[in-house]
Amino acid sequence: MLQDYYDYIKVFHIASVITWMAMLFYLPRLFVYHAEQYNNVAFRNVVELQEKRLYYAIGYPAMIAVLISGSLITLAVPGIMKSGGWIHAKFTLVLLLLVYHFCCGFYRKKLLESCYKSGRFFRIFNEIPTLFMLIIVYLVVLKPF
């Protein structure tokens, strides 16, 4: 039954991944600005609202859509879990992206209280999802093992 809808589920999954990744790329960039302009209250008020909307209105729904559509793809393709180590590595990286997502929520709340991390920290933190995304795409397309 799910196999009949596989292509539609895959389209939805890819669109959801793009949306979630956009949030994971942009929210830490807002943290950089937030940390570097922490004493500018007017700016901080604007960026805090952007962070909240990005995290809750875009990030959470996209993350849930990724998890649901990814689960449906896994169910629709019998034997995918036996197709090689690449799928297990991919799932591990997706799990780490989930941890990263919730770390973003943690840092967002901490930045509401004080600026205890530097802009430099958030610039480095901002590179993590890019690395994970590149590795995931490599694994999915080339299935190296």
pLDDT of res. 116: 86
The mean predicted confidence, pLDDT, of the chain is: 97
103 pLDDT above the threshold of 90 = yes
Share of the chain above pLDDT 70, in %: 100
- Annotated binding residue 101: no
**Which residue carries 């509401």 as its tokens?**
112
Alpha helices by DSSP H, listed for the chain, are 6-36, 41-53, 60-76, 85-113, 119-125, 128-142
Angle among Cα 12, 16, 23 to the nearest 5 degrees reads 165
Q: What is the mean pLDDT of residues 66-88?
A: 95
Contact present, 26 and 54 (Cβ < 8 Å): yes
Distance separating alpha carbons of residues 31 and 28, to the nearest angstrom: 5
Per residue in 9-42, pLDDT tens?
999 999 999 999 999 999 999 999 999 999 999 9
Q: Is 52 annotated as a binding residue?
A: no
